[in-house]
């Protein structure tokens, strides 16, 4: 009993002290629109368009697997008093429902007007014909990693702009100006990438997971296989051995894995095939500090370098 | 097409052309002039008026065009040019598919089925009173669905092995999870669970069997609360008490829960007192409500680690107590404290650590006639469990749990060491091996050593269910 009381007193003593300390450092600003973004792309779009009008909290780290996010008590508390949510939908964020319910944020549950589904209207790829786990951890509604396509991101900017304008109508003009400016910058960059990296077309490569599909199609790269035998099933030596044969037959020179995917499988194939293994994230912010356009720039440049192709100059 | 760009959507909006109208009117006027040449002036006058109108329209069109040209920002033309270039560069992609508009589970709950099979080798069957060597230990069916804009309904039905090829079914949990902010359209973070639920006591106790980091519950929970932990019927309120983010973005959250439940937490068939009463052929009952409270403080230490403290209690309300048909009156109380520390390894999570400690204490104040199960004394039992777990690869975990606990209604105690290894071939299938060395002293003299090996196979199908946040980072 004494031990229990000691714990309670310790806990009670700790909480007010630490909160008093932290509350003075709190970054919260009640005048700002509080925005929750499940992934860095949506968070950066909200910051780009909202700037000083919004306070954005992004749940998934740039180097983190979106599907593996865990809803901690701190995130639940942050979510609770938020005004707007941007999420992918399509079961990409299976942890979201628990986090929102745990936070009591029923105003942001899917179906509410301030819970913005970013995949709405985007033509999907890899919609499964068979829906069971014999196909691995398939996404029932199709591949949700559409933020890897810059053209889709451009439309997402409009979706973010629409939501911000609806909640901040008095700032509609400035938000629309920022949206237009961002779209123009991204369009310029996309035209340059599609022109300068046209030689990437039909280049065969291997990825770890299916997360790059929209990006690959945009730049006409061809995925000849994945290190995973099925979505989110760990690579096996048998599968990798067969994949090595395919890679040799198709003259594959490039393997892409994401930072949260263990290098062991890519090292296995790299020991058997003359390939370059790139660790690239599908999320901006990896490498640290990259914005959305810089992130695409980085990934494309890395791929071009790995294939001994010229790198596009953003300054041109 | 990869992403269908409507050719007209972003192209400059064409001005509505009046050329066809102009031409038509012109032809009409010429026709009228030709066919009515011999006729009177009114027709010619009409044709003339039409020609003037046409001229006016053309002048106005030119004016509108000039105004539109002047009003259009230069960036528009740049954007238009870029858009035209972009559309020329985009290659059609037949691989896109329409979004699903039919949801097979419409109006039905999300269903997750968890199955847990256990194989056991070693001694100790008599002491532990376990079931068969091989058993489908538990099948849990989890149904969830929103029942209103502010509440979700949850049903967790369990079919479990009772040994000797017999099974029993029970409702482990069945409750409505209500958000008060949605119910009353206010800003409160208060939530309630109404129905039957795992009460917010302790750490291990709050988890379902398939969520445990080991193949069995820690010994303190088993020997002080019962093999299934404590599950109650009633209402629970929970809410965050405080939250703050430091300038570094590190959060600290304190939350609390308080439940009012029926008094059978310890007296059911699986309850620690209920089992004892059944062994002695006694009827045991309690209608006295109990209060269960828990306070949790969670803190992000840095970008890669966090810490959680928890303290919880169970106590009786009023003077009513648990009674047996032999005349025993028992007043139960329980206290718990726990701490969890996690540290993330690299981005693949390999090398991540989980350290966890839990302390439990139960007090049973008994009056009435003394009997083996309920001696006429106040009894206090202590127990603790310490767990260390390391993620060895993306899908393997290695850990060890140390246990020590008093045994109820005796001077006995149990100590244990349980190293374990968990392997997840997929997210939906887990294989776990756990060795267990137990030292049991039922009284001051007897000393039994038990060594056993557990093989646990857990699989699930249906909807994903959230894992406890501390099992991964």
Residue B442: which of B409, B413, B415, B408 has the closest Cα?
B413
Select from B89, B91, B245 the Cβ nearest to the Cβ of A27: B245
Mutation target to probe the B interface, by most B beta carbons within 10 A, among A26, A103, A123 is A123
Q: What is the largest CA-CA distance in chain A?
A: 73
pLDDT at B108: 81
Q: Alpha-carbon torsion A41, A42, A48, A52, what sign? A: negative
Q: What is the pLDDT of residue A172?
A: 96
Cβ distance B471 to B213 under 8 Å? yes
Q: Measured between CB atoms, does A110 come within 8 Å of chain B? A: no
B347 contacts on A by Cβ (under 8 Å) = 63-64, 259-260
Tokens at residue B78, please? 């740049």
CATH number for A198-306 (one of 3.40.50.1980, 3.40.50.720, 3.30.210.10, 3.40.50.2000): it is 3.40.50.1980
For position B441, what pLDDT does the model report? Answer: 83
Beta bridge partners of residue B166, listed in sequence order: B163
Of B150, B180, B245, Cβ closest to residue A26 = B245
| Chain B residues close to A220, C-beta within 8 Å | 91
Cβ distance B245 to A80 less than 8 Å, yes or no, reads no
**Confidence check: pLDDT of A128 > 70:** yes
Contacts of B361 in chain A (CB under 8 A): 1, 3-4
Q: Are residues B466 and A10, on separate chains, in Cβ contact within 8 Å?
A: no
Question: Would the CB atoms of B469 and A73 count as touching at under 8 Å?
Answer: yes
Q: In A, which residues are within 8 Å of B473 by CB distance?
A: 70
Angstrom distance (rounded) from CA B400 to CA B454 = 14
At which residue do the structure tokens 């003299």 appear?
B445
Beta bridge partners of A85: A36, A115
Per-position DSSP letters for B126-147, written without gaps between them: HHHT---SEEEEEEEEEEEEEE
Tell me the mean pLDDT in the region A42-67.
Answer: 93
Sequence length of chain A is 316
Assess contact for B65 and B19: CB atoms under 8 A: no
Q: Using DSSP, state whether B355 is helix, strand or coil.
A: strand
Statement: residue A249 has pLDDT above 90: yes
Identify all chain B residues contacting A288, using CB atoms and an 8 Å cutoff.
Answer: none
| Higher per-residue confidence, B274 vs B246 | B246
CATH C-level class of B112-471: mainly beta
Shortest distance, CA B173 to any CA of chain A (angstroms): 17
Residue B295 phi, psi dihedral angles, 5° rounding: -120, 135
User: Is residue B23 predicted with pLDDT exceeding 70?
Assistant: no
Higher pLDDT, B463 or B13: B463
pLDDT at A10: 45
Instruction: Locate all alpha helices (DSSP H) within A136-285, ordered by sequence.
Output: 150-167, 172-196, 213-218, 237-250, 264-270
Lowest mean pLDDT, pick from A25-34, A80-89, A115-124: A25-34
- Using an 8 Å Cβ cutoff, are B35 and B27 in contact? no
What strands, in cross-sheet order, belong to the sheet with A54-58? A54-58, A33-37, A84-87, A115-117
Q: With an 8 Å Cβ cutoff, is A127 touching chain B?
A: yes
- In A, minimum Cα distance to B304 occurs at A61
pLDDT given for residue B17 in this prediction = 44
Of the candidates A12, A77, A208, the residue with the CA atom closest to the CA atom of residue B251: A77
Chain B residue with minimal CA distance to A13? Answer: B297
Nearby residues of B316 by Cβ (< 8 Å), 6 or more positions away: B263, B288, B289, B290, B291, B331, B332, B333
Both tokens assigned to B286:
């309690």
Structural domain spans, chain A: 31-120+149-196, 198-306
| B448-462 and B110-122 beta bridge pairing | antiparallel
Residue in B247, B335, B393 nearest the CB of A27: B247
pLDDT at B472 over 50: yes
B67 pLDDT band, cuts 50/70/90, is low
Domains A31-120+149-196 and A198-306 share a fold: yes
Q: Is A119:A142 a contact under the CB 8 Å cutoff?
A: no
Mean pLDDT over residues B463-469, rounded? 63
The rounded mean pLDDT for chain B is 81
| Domains in chain B: boundaries | 19-89, 112-471
A31-120+149-196: CATH class: alpha beta
Of A156-160, B65-69, B319-323, the one with minimum mean pLDDT is: B65-69
All residues of chain B having their beta carbon less than 8 Å from the beta carbon of residue A109 are: 146
Q: Do A155 and B85 touch (CB under 8 A)?
A: no
The answer to whether the Cβ–Cβ distance between B363 and A262 falls below 8 Å is no
pLDDT tens by residue, B200-209:
999 999 999 8
Q: Report the C-alpha gap between B469 and B465 in whole angstroms.
A: 12
Residues 6+ apart with CB under 8 A from B468: B207, B211
Our CA-based measurement puts residue B78 at a distance from the nearest CA of chain A, in whole angstroms, of 9
């Amino acid at each position: 009993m004494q031990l229990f009381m000691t714990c309670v007193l310790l806990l009670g003593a700790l909480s007010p002290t630490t909160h008093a300390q932290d509350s003075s450092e709190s970054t919260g600003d009640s005048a700002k629109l509080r925005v929750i973004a499940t992934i860095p792309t949506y968070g950066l779009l909200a910051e780009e368009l909202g700037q000083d009008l919004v306070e954005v909290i992004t749940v998934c780290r740039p180097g983190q697997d979106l599907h593996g996010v865990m809803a901690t008590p701190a995130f639940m508390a942050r979510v609770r008093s938020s005004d707007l949510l941007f999420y992918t939908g399509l079961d990409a964020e299976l942890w979201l429902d628990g986090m929102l319910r745990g936070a009591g944020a029923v105003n942001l549950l899917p179906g509410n007007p301030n819970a913005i589904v970013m995949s709405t209207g985007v033509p999907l790829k890899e919609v499964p014909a068979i829906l069971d786990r014999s196909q691995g951890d398939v996404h029932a509604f199709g591949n949700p990693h559409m933020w890897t396509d810059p053209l889709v991101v451009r439309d997402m900017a409009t979706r973010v702009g629409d939501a911000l304008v609806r909640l901040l109508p008095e700032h509609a003009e400035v938000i629309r100006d920022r949206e237009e400016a961002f779209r123009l910058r991204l369009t310029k960059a996309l035209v340059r990438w599609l022109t300068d990296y046209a030689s990437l077309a039909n280049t065969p490569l291997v990825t770890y997971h299916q997360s790059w599909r929209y990006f690959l199609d945009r730049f006409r790269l061809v995925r000849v296989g994945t290190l995973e035998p099925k979505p989110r099933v760990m690579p096996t030596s048998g599968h990798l051995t067969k994949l090595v044969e395919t890679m040799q037959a198709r003259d594959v020179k490039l393997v892409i894995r994401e930072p949260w995917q263990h290098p062991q499988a890519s090292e296995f194939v790299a020991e058997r095939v003359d390939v370059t293994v790139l660790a690239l994230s599908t999320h901006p912010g990896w490498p640290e500090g990259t914005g959305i356009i810089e992130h695409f720039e980085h990934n494309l440049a890395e791929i071009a370098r790995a294939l001994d192709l010229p790198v596009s100059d953003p300054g041109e | 097409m990869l992403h269908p760009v409507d050719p007209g959507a972003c192209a400059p909006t064409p001005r509505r052309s009046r050329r066809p109208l102009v031409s038509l009117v012109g032809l009409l006027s010429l026709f009228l002039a030709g066919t009515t040449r011999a006729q009177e002036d009114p027709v010619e006058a009409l044709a003339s008026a039409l020609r003037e109108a046409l001229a006016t329209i053309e002048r106005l069109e030119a004016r509108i065009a000039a105004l539109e040209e002047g009003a259009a920002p230069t960036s528009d033309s740049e954007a238009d040019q870029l858009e035209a270039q972009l559309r020329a560069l985009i290659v059609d992609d037949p691989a896109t598919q329409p979004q699903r508009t039919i949801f097979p589970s419409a109006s039905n709950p999300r269903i997750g089925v968890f199955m847990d099979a256990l194989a056991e080798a070693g001694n100790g069957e008599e002491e532990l009173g376990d079931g068969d060597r091989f058993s489908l230990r538990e099948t849990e069916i989890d149904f969830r669905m929103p029942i209103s804009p502010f509440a979700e309904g949850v049903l967790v039905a369990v079919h479990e092995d009772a040994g000797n090829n017999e099974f029993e079914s029970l409702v482990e949990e069945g409750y409505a999870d209500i958000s008060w902010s949605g119910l009353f359209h206010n800003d409160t973070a208060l939530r309630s669970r109404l129905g039957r639920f795992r009460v917010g006591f302790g750490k291990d106790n709050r988890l379902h069997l398939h969520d445990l980091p080991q193949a069995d519950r820690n010994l303190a929970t088993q020997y002080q609360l019962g093999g299934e932990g404590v599950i109650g019927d009633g209402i629970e309120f929970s809410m965050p008490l405080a939250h703050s983010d430091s300038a570094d973005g590190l959060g600290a959250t304190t939350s609390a829960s308080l439940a009012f439940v029926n008094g059978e937490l310890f007296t059911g068939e699986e309850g620690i007192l209920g089992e004892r009463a059944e062994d002695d052929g006694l009827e045991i009952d309690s209608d006295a409500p109990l209060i269960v409270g828990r306070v949790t403080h969670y803190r992000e230490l840095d970008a890669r680690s966090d810490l959680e403290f928890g303290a919880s209690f169970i106590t009786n309300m009023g003077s009513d107590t648990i009674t047996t048909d032999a005349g025993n009156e028992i007043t139960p109380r329980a206290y718990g404290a726990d701490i969890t520390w996690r540290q993330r390894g690299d981005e693949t999570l390999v090398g991540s650590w989980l350290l966890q400690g839990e302390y439990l204490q139960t007090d049973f104040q008994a009056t009435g006639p003394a009997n083996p199960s309920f001696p006429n004394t106040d009894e206090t039992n202590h127990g603790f469990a310490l767990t260390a777990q390391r993620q060895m690869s993306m899908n393997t975990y290695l850990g060890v749990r140390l246990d020590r606990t008093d045994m109820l209604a005796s001077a006995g105690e149990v100590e244990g060491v349980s190293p374990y290894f968990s392997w997840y071939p997929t997210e939906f299938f887990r294989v776990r091996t756990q060795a267990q060395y137990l030292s049991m002293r039922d009284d001051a003299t007897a000393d039994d050593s038990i060594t056993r090996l557990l093989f646990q196979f857990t699989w699930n199908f249906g909807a994903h269910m959230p894992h406890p946040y501390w099992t991964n980072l």
